[in-house]
Amino acid sequence: MKNKVRIGIFGIGHNHAAAAIKTLRALEGVEIVGLCEDDKAMLERRIKENPGVYGDIRVMTKAELFDSRLDAAMCEPSVPYLVPTALECAKHGLHIHMDKPAGVDLEEYAKLLGELSSRRLVFQTGYMYRYNAGIRYVIDSVKDGKLGRIYNITAAMSTKHPEWFKKQLISYGVKAPAMYIFGCHLFDLCLLIKGKPESVTTFYARSQDGGVDFDDTSLSVLKYPDGVATVKVSSVEINGWGMREFTVYGERGTISVSPIENKMLVKETLIDEQEPWKDRFRYVDIEETGRYDVMMREFIDMIRGDIPYDVDFSHEYELQKLTLSASGVEV
Protein backbone atom coordinates (compact mmCIF):
# COMPACT_ATOMS: atom_id res chain seq x y z
CA MET A 1 0.00 0.00 0.00
CA LYS A 2 1.22 3.50 -0.77
CA ASN A 3 2.27 5.75 2.09
CA LYS A 4 -0.38 8.01 3.49
CA VAL A 5 -0.60 11.57 2.15
CA ARG A 6 0.60 13.83 4.96
CA ILE A 7 -1.50 16.99 5.15
CA GLY A 8 -1.21 20.16 7.19
CA ILE A 9 -4.17 22.44 7.80
CA PHE A 10 -3.31 26.11 7.36
CA GLY A 11 -6.14 28.14 8.85
CA ILE A 12 -9.63 27.09 9.91
CA GLY A 13 -11.49 30.40 9.65
CA HIS A 14 -13.31 29.66 6.39
CA ASN A 15 -16.98 28.79 6.76
CA HIS A 16 -16.53 25.62 4.69
CA ALA A 17 -13.42 24.45 6.54
CA ALA A 18 -14.98 22.15 9.13
CA ALA A 19 -17.13 20.20 6.67
CA ALA A 20 -14.32 19.78 4.14
CA ILE A 21 -11.80 18.69 6.78
CA LYS A 22 -14.29 16.31 8.37
CA THR A 23 -14.73 14.69 4.96
CA LEU A 24 -10.98 14.52 4.42
CA ARG A 25 -10.42 12.83 7.76
CA ALA A 26 -12.78 10.00 6.81
CA LEU A 27 -10.72 9.04 3.75
CA GLU A 28 -8.25 6.20 3.66
CA GLY A 29 -4.66 7.07 2.80
CA VAL A 30 -4.66 10.42 4.64
CA GLU A 31 -2.74 11.58 7.71
CA ILE A 32 -3.62 14.95 9.24
CA VAL A 33 -0.32 16.09 10.75
CA GLY A 34 -1.52 19.24 12.49
CA LEU A 35 -3.18 22.61 12.10
CA CYS A 36 -2.24 26.23 12.56
CA GLU A 37 -4.46 29.29 12.84
CA ASP A 38 -2.79 32.67 13.34
CA ASP A 39 -5.96 34.24 14.77
CA LYS A 40 -6.08 32.85 18.32
CA ALA A 41 -9.68 33.95 18.87
CA MET A 42 -10.70 32.24 15.64
CA LEU A 43 -8.81 29.09 16.65
CA GLU A 44 -10.62 28.86 19.99
CA ARG A 45 -13.98 29.60 18.41
CA ARG A 46 -13.70 27.00 15.64
CA ILE A 47 -12.42 24.26 17.96
CA LYS A 48 -15.29 24.96 20.35
CA GLU A 49 -17.81 24.91 17.48
CA ASN A 50 -16.39 21.71 15.95
CA PRO A 51 -14.81 19.57 18.70
CA GLY A 52 -15.33 16.38 16.70
CA VAL A 53 -13.40 17.84 13.77
CA TYR A 54 -10.48 19.66 15.38
CA GLY A 55 -10.41 18.47 18.98
CA ASP A 56 -7.73 15.78 18.53
CA ILE A 57 -5.64 17.49 15.85
CA ARG A 58 -2.33 18.86 17.13
CA VAL A 59 -2.18 22.65 17.06
CA MET A 60 1.18 23.78 15.71
CA THR A 61 2.92 26.92 14.54
CA LYS A 62 3.22 27.50 10.83
CA ALA A 63 6.97 26.89 11.02
CA GLU A 64 6.41 23.58 12.80
CA LEU A 65 3.97 22.48 10.14
CA PHE A 66 6.36 23.36 7.32
CA ASP A 67 9.05 21.29 9.07
CA SER A 68 6.79 18.21 9.31
CA ARG A 69 7.50 16.52 5.96
CA LEU A 70 4.13 17.45 4.52
CA ASP A 71 2.87 16.43 1.10
CA ALA A 72 -0.08 18.80 0.91
CA ALA A 73 -1.86 21.71 2.52
CA MET A 74 -5.49 22.41 3.26
CA CYS A 75 -5.69 26.21 3.05
CA GLU A 76 -8.84 27.15 4.94
CA PRO A 77 -8.25 30.55 6.61
CA SER A 78 -10.79 33.36 6.39
CA VAL A 79 -11.37 34.49 2.81
CA PRO A 80 -8.97 37.51 2.76
CA TYR A 81 -6.05 35.26 3.75
CA LEU A 82 -6.63 32.38 1.33
CA VAL A 83 -4.27 33.39 -1.46
CA PRO A 84 -1.35 34.62 0.70
CA THR A 85 -1.52 31.40 2.72
CA ALA A 86 -1.66 29.20 -0.37
CA LEU A 87 1.22 31.10 -1.99
CA GLU A 88 3.40 30.48 1.06
CA CYS A 89 2.49 26.78 0.97
CA ALA A 90 3.21 26.55 -2.76
CA LYS A 91 6.68 28.01 -2.22
CA HIS A 92 7.27 25.12 0.19
CA GLY A 93 6.40 22.69 -2.61
CA LEU A 94 3.06 21.52 -1.20
CA HIS A 95 0.05 20.34 -3.17
CA ILE A 96 -2.86 22.60 -2.27
CA HIS A 97 -6.56 22.53 -1.66
CA MET A 98 -7.65 26.16 -1.25
CA ASP A 99 -11.14 27.33 -0.50
CA LYS A 100 -12.85 30.11 -2.40
CA PRO A 101 -13.18 32.83 -3.64
CA ALA A 102 -9.56 33.66 -4.38
CA GLY A 103 -9.31 37.10 -2.79
CA VAL A 104 -9.56 40.49 -4.49
CA ASP A 105 -6.00 40.86 -5.78
CA LEU A 106 -5.97 39.22 -9.21
CA GLU A 107 -2.25 39.87 -9.69
CA GLU A 108 -1.41 38.05 -6.44
CA TYR A 109 -3.62 35.14 -7.51
CA ALA A 110 -1.80 34.99 -10.84
CA LYS A 111 1.49 34.67 -8.91
CA LEU A 112 0.05 31.76 -6.97
CA LEU A 113 -1.13 30.00 -10.13
CA GLY A 114 2.25 30.56 -11.76
CA GLU A 115 4.09 29.11 -8.78
CA LEU A 116 1.86 26.04 -8.73
CA SER A 117 2.04 25.52 -12.48
CA SER A 118 5.84 25.83 -12.66
CA ARG A 119 6.23 23.26 -9.89
CA ARG A 120 3.48 21.03 -11.33
CA LEU A 121 1.69 20.93 -8.00
CA VAL A 122 -1.86 19.72 -7.59
CA PHE A 123 -4.20 22.67 -7.05
CA GLN A 124 -7.82 22.21 -6.14
CA THR A 125 -10.19 25.06 -5.34
CA GLY A 126 -13.23 24.58 -3.12
CA TYR A 127 -15.85 24.75 -5.86
CA MET A 128 -17.84 21.78 -4.60
CA TYR A 129 -20.51 21.97 -7.31
CA ARG A 130 -17.94 20.81 -9.86
CA TYR A 131 -18.11 17.48 -8.06
CA ASN A 132 -21.90 17.38 -7.56
CA ALA A 133 -23.38 14.26 -9.20
CA GLY A 134 -26.20 16.16 -10.89
CA ILE A 135 -23.94 18.90 -12.21
CA ARG A 136 -21.49 16.29 -13.51
CA TYR A 137 -24.38 14.61 -15.31
CA VAL A 138 -25.11 17.93 -17.02
CA ILE A 139 -21.47 18.56 -17.94
CA ASP A 140 -21.00 15.01 -19.25
CA SER A 141 -24.17 15.35 -21.33
CA VAL A 142 -22.80 18.57 -22.84
CA LYS A 143 -19.41 16.99 -23.57
CA ASP A 144 -21.05 13.94 -25.17
CA GLY A 145 -23.10 16.15 -27.49
CA LYS A 146 -26.38 14.89 -26.07
CA LEU A 147 -27.82 18.42 -25.86
CA GLY A 148 -26.28 19.66 -29.11
CA ARG A 149 -25.05 23.23 -29.19
CA ILE A 150 -25.68 24.99 -25.89
CA TYR A 151 -27.67 28.21 -26.14
CA ASN A 152 -28.61 29.47 -22.69
CA ILE A 153 -27.94 28.86 -18.99
CA THR A 154 -29.90 30.01 -15.96
CA ALA A 155 -28.38 29.71 -12.51
CA ALA A 156 -29.36 30.85 -9.04
CA MET A 157 -27.80 30.49 -5.61
CA SER A 158 -29.35 32.21 -2.62
CA THR A 159 -30.29 31.88 1.03
CA LYS A 160 -31.37 34.17 3.86
CA HIS A 161 -28.21 34.99 5.75
CA PRO A 162 -28.27 35.97 9.42
CA GLU A 163 -27.10 39.45 10.38
CA TRP A 164 -23.63 38.31 11.52
CA PHE A 165 -22.99 36.62 8.18
CA LYS A 166 -24.09 39.69 6.21
CA LYS A 167 -21.60 41.79 8.18
CA GLN A 168 -18.91 39.24 7.40
CA LEU A 169 -19.74 39.54 3.70
CA ILE A 170 -19.37 43.33 3.87
CA SER A 171 -15.87 42.90 5.34
CA TYR A 172 -14.65 41.24 2.13
CA GLY A 173 -14.32 44.67 0.52
CA VAL A 174 -16.24 44.19 -2.74
CA LYS A 175 -19.28 46.07 -3.97
CA ALA A 176 -21.48 42.98 -4.28
CA PRO A 177 -20.34 40.42 -1.70
CA ALA A 178 -23.28 38.06 -2.28
CA MET A 179 -22.21 37.78 -5.91
CA TYR A 180 -18.61 37.35 -4.77
CA ILE A 181 -19.34 34.48 -2.38
CA PHE A 182 -22.19 32.76 -4.29
CA GLY A 183 -21.75 33.79 -7.90
CA CYS A 184 -18.25 32.33 -8.13
CA HIS A 185 -19.74 28.81 -7.91
CA LEU A 186 -22.11 29.47 -10.80
CA PHE A 187 -19.62 31.34 -12.99
CA ASP A 188 -17.38 28.30 -12.61
CA LEU A 189 -20.01 26.09 -14.24
CA CYS A 190 -20.92 28.64 -16.93
CA LEU A 191 -17.27 28.88 -17.99
CA LEU A 192 -16.92 25.10 -18.06
CA ILE A 193 -19.91 24.79 -20.39
CA LYS A 194 -20.08 28.00 -22.45
CA GLY A 195 -16.57 29.36 -22.12
CA LYS A 196 -15.53 32.98 -21.73
CA PRO A 197 -18.38 35.44 -22.47
CA GLU A 198 -18.17 38.42 -24.81
CA SER A 199 -19.32 40.72 -22.02
CA VAL A 200 -20.74 40.72 -18.50
CA THR A 201 -23.35 43.12 -17.15
CA THR A 202 -24.35 43.03 -13.50
CA PHE A 203 -27.33 44.65 -11.82
CA TYR A 204 -27.16 45.37 -8.09
CA ALA A 205 -29.87 45.90 -5.47
CA ARG A 206 -29.97 46.40 -1.71
CA SER A 207 -33.02 45.45 0.32
CA GLN A 208 -31.66 46.71 3.68
CA ASP A 209 -33.24 43.60 5.14
CA GLY A 210 -32.62 43.44 8.87
CA GLY A 211 -31.12 46.92 8.77
CA VAL A 212 -27.92 45.75 7.08
CA ASP A 213 -27.17 48.09 4.17
CA PHE A 214 -25.23 46.47 1.32
CA ASP A 215 -25.80 45.10 -2.20
CA ASP A 216 -27.41 41.85 -1.09
CA THR A 217 -29.00 40.84 -4.41
CA SER A 218 -27.34 40.79 -7.83
CA LEU A 219 -28.01 39.53 -11.33
CA SER A 220 -25.23 39.03 -13.88
CA VAL A 221 -25.89 38.54 -17.58
CA LEU A 222 -23.11 36.83 -19.53
CA LYS A 223 -23.46 37.55 -23.25
CA TYR A 224 -22.38 35.02 -25.89
CA PRO A 225 -22.77 35.20 -29.68
CA ASP A 226 -25.49 32.54 -29.61
CA GLY A 227 -27.12 33.02 -26.21
CA VAL A 228 -26.85 34.21 -22.62
CA ALA A 229 -26.14 32.88 -19.17
CA THR A 230 -27.86 34.53 -16.20
CA VAL A 231 -26.53 34.23 -12.65
CA LYS A 232 -28.72 35.46 -9.79
CA VAL A 233 -27.67 35.53 -6.14
CA SER A 234 -29.22 36.88 -2.97
CA SER A 235 -28.64 36.95 0.78
CA VAL A 236 -32.27 37.73 1.65
CA GLU A 237 -34.37 34.92 0.15
CA ILE A 238 -36.23 32.60 2.51
CA ASN A 239 -35.66 29.00 1.40
CA GLY A 240 -33.24 30.24 -1.22
CA TRP A 241 -31.32 27.03 -0.57
CA GLY A 242 -34.23 24.95 -1.82
CA MET A 243 -34.48 27.04 -4.99
CA ARG A 244 -30.84 26.82 -6.04
CA GLU A 245 -30.79 26.03 -9.73
CA PHE A 246 -28.53 25.24 -12.63
CA THR A 247 -30.27 24.75 -15.99
CA VAL A 248 -28.68 24.26 -19.40
CA TYR A 249 -30.68 24.74 -22.61
CA GLY A 250 -29.30 23.15 -25.76
CA GLU A 251 -30.56 22.74 -29.31
CA ARG A 252 -31.46 19.10 -28.59
CA GLY A 253 -32.52 19.19 -24.96
CA THR A 254 -32.68 20.82 -21.54
CA ILE A 255 -31.35 19.55 -18.22
CA SER A 256 -32.08 21.24 -14.89
CA VAL A 257 -30.66 20.55 -11.46
CA SER A 258 -32.89 22.13 -8.81
CA PRO A 259 -32.42 21.95 -5.92
CA ILE A 260 -28.72 21.42 -6.54
CA GLU A 261 -28.28 19.49 -3.30
CA ASN A 262 -30.08 18.15 -0.26
CA LYS A 263 -32.22 17.05 -2.01
CA MET A 264 -30.78 17.05 -5.54
CA LEU A 265 -33.36 16.77 -8.33
CA VAL A 266 -32.41 16.40 -11.99
CA LYS A 267 -35.02 17.03 -14.72
CA GLU A 268 -34.38 16.31 -18.38
CA THR A 269 -36.26 16.90 -21.63
CA LEU A 270 -34.88 15.87 -25.02
CA ILE A 271 -36.07 17.28 -28.31
CA ASP A 272 -38.28 14.33 -29.26
CA GLU A 273 -40.04 14.51 -25.87
CA GLN A 274 -40.86 18.20 -25.82
CA GLU A 275 -44.01 20.08 -26.81
CA PRO A 276 -43.77 23.85 -27.24
CA TRP A 277 -46.72 24.75 -24.99
CA LYS A 278 -46.58 21.94 -22.44
CA ASP A 279 -44.34 21.00 -19.50
CA ARG A 280 -42.68 17.75 -20.52
CA PHE A 281 -39.80 16.31 -18.50
CA ARG A 282 -38.40 13.20 -16.81
CA TYR A 283 -36.66 12.93 -13.48
CA VAL A 284 -33.22 11.37 -13.83
CA ASP A 285 -32.33 9.01 -10.97
CA ILE A 286 -28.82 9.92 -9.79
CA GLU A 287 -27.40 8.99 -6.40
CA GLU A 288 -26.45 12.02 -4.33
CA THR A 289 -23.14 11.89 -2.48
CA GLY A 290 -21.90 14.03 0.41
CA ARG A 291 -21.13 17.61 -0.51
CA TYR A 292 -17.34 17.25 -0.30
CA ASP A 293 -16.89 13.48 -0.74
CA VAL A 294 -15.85 13.39 -4.39
CA MET A 295 -13.88 16.64 -4.17
CA MET A 296 -11.67 15.47 -1.33
CA ARG A 297 -11.25 11.98 -2.77
CA GLU A 298 -10.06 13.36 -6.11
CA PHE A 299 -7.63 15.72 -4.38
CA ILE A 300 -5.94 12.79 -2.65
CA ASP A 301 -6.11 10.53 -5.72
CA MET A 302 -4.44 13.16 -7.91
CA ILE A 303 -1.63 13.64 -5.40
CA ARG A 304 -1.07 9.88 -5.29
CA GLY A 305 -1.18 9.59 -9.07
CA ASP A 306 -4.27 7.37 -9.02
CA ILE A 307 -5.99 9.76 -11.44
CA PRO A 308 -4.29 11.95 -14.06
CA TYR A 309 -2.87 15.36 -13.18
CA ASP A 310 -5.60 17.66 -14.44
CA VAL A 311 -5.35 21.28 -13.29
CA ASP A 312 -6.65 24.00 -15.62
CA PHE A 313 -4.83 27.07 -14.36
CA SER A 314 -6.23 29.22 -17.17
CA HIS A 315 -9.78 28.35 -16.13
CA GLU A 316 -9.04 29.19 -12.48
CA TYR A 317 -7.68 32.59 -13.48
CA GLU A 318 -10.57 33.46 -15.81
CA LEU A 319 -13.06 32.36 -13.16
CA GLN A 320 -11.62 34.70 -10.55
CA LYS A 321 -11.40 37.54 -13.05
CA LEU A 322 -15.07 37.08 -13.96
CA THR A 323 -16.11 36.81 -10.31
CA LEU A 324 -14.33 40.03 -9.39
CA SER A 325 -15.71 41.92 -12.39
CA ALA A 326 -19.28 40.83 -11.62
CA SER A 327 -18.79 41.76 -7.96
CA GLY A 328 -17.91 45.35 -8.83
CA VAL A 329 -14.12 45.12 -8.64
CA GLU A 330 -12.15 46.71 -11.48
CA VAL A 331 -9.78 44.16 -13.04
pLDDT digits over 245-278, tens only? 999 999 999 999 999 998 999 999 999 999 999 9
Dihedral of CA atoms 155, 15, 84, 65 in degrees, nearest 10, equals -140
> Is the per-residue pLDDT at 12 higher than 60?
yes
> Is the per-residue pLDDT at 2 higher than 80?
no
Q: What is the share, in percent, of the chain residues with pLDDT greater than 90?
A: 95
Q: Which domains does the chain have, with CATH numbers?
A: 5-127+292-325 (3.40.50.720), 133-290 (3.30.360.10)
CA distance 203 to 232: 10
pTM passes above 0.75? yes
CB within 8 A of 281, min separation 6: which ones?
Answer: 254, 256, 267, 268, 269, 273
Q: 124 phi and psi, to 5 degrees?
A: -125, 130
Tell me the pLDDT tens digit for each residue of 57-98: 999 999 999 999 999 999 999 999 999 999 999 999 999 999
pLDDT for res 1: 42
Q: What is the mean pLDDT of residues 177-194?
A: 97
Strand ranges, E, within the chain? 5-10, 30-36, 72-75, 95-98, 123-125, 150-158, 199-205, 217-224, 227-234, 245-250, 253-257, 266-270, 282-283
Instruction: Please report the sign of the dihedral spanned by the C-alpha atoms of residue 174, residue 192, residue 258, residue 285.
Output: negative
Neighbours of 145 (CB within 10 A): 10
Q: What is the 3-state secondary structure (H, E, C) of 87-100?
A: HHHHHCCCEEEECC
